Structure 1
Amino acid sequence: MPAFKPPEWRNARNTLIAQVIIFGSLFLGISFLAAEMRIIPDPNEVQTVLSLITRNVIGNGWILFFMQITTALILALAANTSFADFPRLSFFLARDGFMPRQFAYRGERLAFTTGIVALAGLAVLLLVAFGASVTALIPLYTLGVFVAFTLSQSGMVVRWWRQHEPGWRRGLVINGLGAATTAVIALIVASTKFLSGAWLVIVMAPLLIMLMVGIRRHYRVVDAALALERIPEGKEVAAEPIVIVPIGRLDRAARQAIAFANSISPNATAVHVTNDPKDAAEMRERWPDWAGTTELVVVESPYRALIGPLLRYMDALQAQDPKRPIVVVLSEFVPRHWWEQLLHNQTSLRLKLRLFGRRNTIVADVPYHLPKPEVR
């Protein structure tokens, strides 16, 4: 409606009437010609019924190619309607909490990027799953369309019944007849084409509704847990954190992370996990000259594991004072080029993923960017 010029309702009504006349004429005309010419749909789906009719009427001339190109452009325009309206619909659902909030994000081109990408992914998935067969995909489209028509017409019936606006009786009859007609067609399609693909809509529609209700319930629970009606009186004092710095070796990145940890707490502790006693002894020997007064704890790991022994050490620390949060300062080497990331084992990334789900734990990432080589 907002896309029409004033008066919007009249222009929208006239547009819909024109569309009904055009589509009805096309449907009746194509059906009549197909019946009179005894056109049988191509079982290999190489040619459409419209292509067969055109070929029988005018042959293989340039008009046939013109018809094919025109049909393709009309279908592309019809597909574009979905990419224009579904992202907008998903925005409203995300705004009301029934879809992930990423669908409410508007990209740099002022389009709902997440909805467009999601729709494209679902379209590709359907094409692959059904082998791009029009015969297999038509039941999905037909059932989805007539279910949507039934719901929209039923909504208008309820509106006429509640509002009692001028002409409500006539509107009630028209929309009631439309809802009943489309409902009957939807039931026929669902029963006759169930095994041909209609089952997907019948199964997925309730599942999607339950999923949306679950998403809405999740957002309500989160909002209730995070809500703060007023700022509490007095100053909130946070407990002094336990600061640790996992290090794998003595290098510039680790030294920078230790310096940052010491700025947070004077009692920061460096933790080295190893399964090599010789490596542990060498680390302890070099530590006083390398890190000064910062304490070093060596955790032995007999099974060459890193994350497990570190988490157990953190559990032991917090067991002494569960109210104190633990801050894990991670040193992360950042190469000059993105593809060079593939040459490193991403230990910090794997450790971050495990720590993010741990309660009362704060992760501080200290990146160390490799300096550019000096030009001589």
Structure 2
Amino acid sequence: MKASLKRMLIGRPLKSTELGEQKLNKTKALAILSSDALSSVAYGPEQILIVLVTVGAAALWYSIPIAIGVIILLTALILSYRQIIYAYPHGGGAYVVSRENLGVNPGLVAGGSLLVDYILTVAVSVSAGTDAITSALPSLHDYNVEIAIVFVILLTILNLRGVTESASVLAYPVYLFVLALFILIGVGIFNVVTGNVPSDLHTSIGTPVAGLSLFILLKAFASGSSALTGVEAISNAIPNFKEPAPVNAAKTLMAMGGLLAILFSGIVFLAFYYGITPSATSTVVSQIAEVSFGRNLVYYFIQGTTALILVLAANTGYSAFPLLAVNLSKDKFIPRMFQIRGDRLGYSNGIILLSLAAILLIIVFNGTTENLIPLYAVGVFIPFTLSQTGMIVKWIREKPQGWVTKLIINSVGAAISFVVTIVFFVTKLPAVWPVFIFLPIIIFAFHRIKKHYDSVGPQLRLIADEEIPPIEGNVIIVPVAGITKVVRNSLNYAKSLSADQIIAVYIAFEREDTRKFEEQWKKWQPDVKLVTLYSPYRSIVQPLTKFIDKAERLASKSNYQVSVIIPQFLPKKGWQNILHNQSSLLIHTSLLYRRNVVLITVPYHLQK
């Protein structure tokens, strides 16, 4: 039944030779790798307004110059990551660039930040999508967390089905969202040009605003820059593109940058001209759509596609997180299981871990997007800064043709990204302080894992002249709890092995039981030596391990191997295990880390 359910949800397994069919063309790649960046149009402009409105509605005109600054930063990042794509065509993005040009630790800072950021991508996107739904349907507002978790589960199943299948599903809502916003922006600009929007709805550009400081403007700029999260995803996911992968990735990146610039600037302009102010119950896009169309079919189309893109923007995390995990795993900084492809040729372990972590975040932050966005944004601007700095070092060191222009592009990107990062830390410290805790912990864990893998290799490697003493014989110990079919099954197996001696060990809690059992054993298995141990404190493990220790010491003198065969019966249904005392599991656990003891579990399956 489990297998049937798995096939129904995930689909039939794919052969390794079908991997080429899982590569993405530019149209599908734009949908799943740009959805995060494009979706941020739905909340990026709103973050600018939230900061400015604290000074007063008159300050909202500053959203226009701030938006221009964000577009300049976007341009620098797009051009910078385009260079990264061609310089590092095998993917890896900020992690690989930082590691190769700045050193291991800067690379791990970038990689760790991005891993967390992709988890936040899922949590923020799904939470924002849920907010859009509950803006249109306020009666669902109390169920934000539950709705968000359901969306994460659905996205997990979709991504476990494979890259191309998820891309085929996601392409439609992404392009519908782009179409919906083009309609919204087009109609809004038409209304402005034709004079259908009263000019008194907004403060004129250039109006002096009392109490507005540089600190507030920088805070608004940093908040608006949250719309640029997801820009780096394409550089991480180059291996997912059809050949020529770097060319297709670069073209997709440029298309994403162009769309993001148009949609972001359009929403900011309309929000300013319509005099929109942030609301706890209705998003900025929702308010613009309502002013432009009223609550009619077009409004719900815009809200519906916005909700979809916000939810499905999480797929950028599902596309980039597993590939980044693969790069870190190849370098031995995270477990090797992240390199394993699942039934549908996706890196399913990375997908599942990402989903579990995102659900945990949604629960902890109660599905509130506002609480997640600052942490989300700072988590991506750290890698932005490191990757651009790494490229500066690369151009200065290698000096390829046209390196001066490339150096200028990366320098601008690095400088602005660094400023935004610092502004985030200064202005939003109460929201981003967890970075100072989880990032050192993650980097420490990376180094511990790496140290473990580096120590394992030499221990497993065969050395030509190394002498290993041969095993001269085998002593088998069988713990027995009674005279049953389970014990007989294990003894039969023990007798089939080339053993010099088989010893059955019985542990009695009462001395009278010892005598009775010895008499029964002589009649049942006279050819198998029985050792009975008295346990006054009713412990099975302690007297058994002491006996095995003694046997091990004696066997080591003659180069004999001690093997312990553990009888275990298995109920027909898994839940029935809780009805039994699991002595075999306790014995196995206690002996598992003994260096010179071989453990063998012999199962006996019950029929009903």
Instruction: Say yes or no: TM over 0.5.
Output: yes
What's 1:172 paired with? 407
Are 1:326 and 2:559 matched, yes or no?
no
* In structure 1, distance between residues paired with 2:245 and 2:462: 43
Deviation at 1:22, TM superposition (A): 1.9
How do 1:349-360 and structure 2 match up within 5 A?
349-360=585-596
Q: Which amino acid aligns with 1:332?
A: Q
Give the gaps of 5 or more residues in structure 2. 1-237
What's 1:244 paired with? 477
1:24 to 241, 248, 261: 261
What's 1:227 paired with? 461
1:163 to 375, 398, 401: 398
Deviation at 1:295, TM superposition (A): 1.1
What SS class does the counterpart of residue 530 from structure 2 fall into?
strand
- Maintained 8 Å contact 2:555/2:562: no
Deviation at 1:100, TM superposition (A): 0.5
What SS class does the counterpart of residue 327 from structure 1 fall into?
strand
2:494 to 234, 239, 261: 261
What's 1:346 paired with? 582
* In structure 1, distance between residues paired with 2:569 and 2:481: 12
What's 2:276 paired with? 39
- Alpha-carbon spacing, 1:342–1:185, altered in 2? closer, same or farther (3 Å): same
* In structure 2, distance between residues paired with 1:4 and 1:283: 69
What SS class does the counterpart of residue 299 from structure 1 fall into?
strand
1:75 to 273, 285, 310: 310
Using the size of structure 2 for normalisation, the TM-score is 0.58
2:603 to 360, 367, 372: 367
* In structure 1, distance between residues paired with 2:493 and 2:242: 62
- Alpha-carbon spacing, 1:358–1:92, altered in 2? closer, same or farther (3 Å): same
Mean CA deviation greater in 319-328 or 147-156: 319-328
For residues 256-307 of structure 1, give each alpha carbon's deviation from its aligned partner in whole angstroms, at most 9, with x where no partner exists. Answer: 2122223332421110112112221210111111112211111111111111
Mean CA deviation greater in 5-14 or 180-189: 5-14
- Maintained 8 Å contact 1:157/1:176: yes
| Structure 1 outlier segments of 4+, above 6 Å | none
* In structure 1, distance between residues paired with 2:305 and 2:330: 38
What's 2:132 paired with? none
**Residue identity (%):** 38
What SS class does the counterpart of residue 473 from structure 2 fall into?
coil
How do 1:1-376 and structure 2 match up within 5 A?
1=238, 9=246, 11-43=248-280, 46-196=281-431, 198-230=432-464, 237-264=470-497, 265-323=499-557, 324-371=560-607
Mean CA deviation greater in 308-317 or 222-231: 222-231
What SS class does the counterpart of residue 434 from structure 2 fall into?
helix
Q: Which amino acid aligns with 2:508?
A: T
* In structure 1, distance between residues paired with 2:309 and 2:492: 65
Mean CA deviation greater in 318-327 or 23-32: 318-327
Larger RCO (CA within 8 A; separation ≥ 6): 2
Give the gaps of 5 or more residues in structure 1. none
- Alpha-carbon spacing, 1:238–1:274, altered in 2? closer, same or farther (3 Å): same
For residues 143-184 of structure 1, give each alpha carbon's deviation from its aligned partner in whole angstroms, at most 9, with x where no partner exists. Answer: 012112112212221221122111100110110110110111
* In structure 2, distance between residues paired with 1:99 and 1:89: 11
Mean CA deviation greater in 118-127 or 185-194: 185-194
Q: CA RMSD in A?
A: 2.1
Q: Which amino acid aligns with 2:297?
A: W
For residues 218-256 of structure 1, give each alpha carbon's deviation from its aligned partner in whole angstroms, at most 9, with x where no partner exists. Answer: 1010101111143758x9521423321101111111012
Mean CA deviation greater in 331-340 or 319-328: 319-328
- Maintained 8 Å contact 2:328/2:334: yes
- Maintained 8 Å contact 1:240/1:325: yes
Deviation at 1:140, TM superposition (A): 1.4
Mean CA deviation greater in 169-178 or 273-282: 273-282
Deviation at 1:49, TM superposition (A): 1.7
What SS class does the counterpart of residue 241 from structure 1 fall into?
strand
Deviation at 1:370, TM superposition (A): 2.7
- Maintained 8 Å contact 1:255/1:291: no
What SS class does the counterpart of residue 325 from structure 1 fall into?
strand
* In structure 1, distance between residues paired with 2:523 and 2:607: 25
* In structure 1, distance between residues paired with 2:379 and 2:323: 18
Mean CA deviation greater in 2-11 or 208-217: 2-11
Deviation at 1:95, TM superposition (A): 2.0
Deviation at 1:123, TM superposition (A): 0.4
* In structure 1, distance between residues paired with 2:340 and 2:465: 30
Q: Which amino acid aligns with 1:260?
A: Y
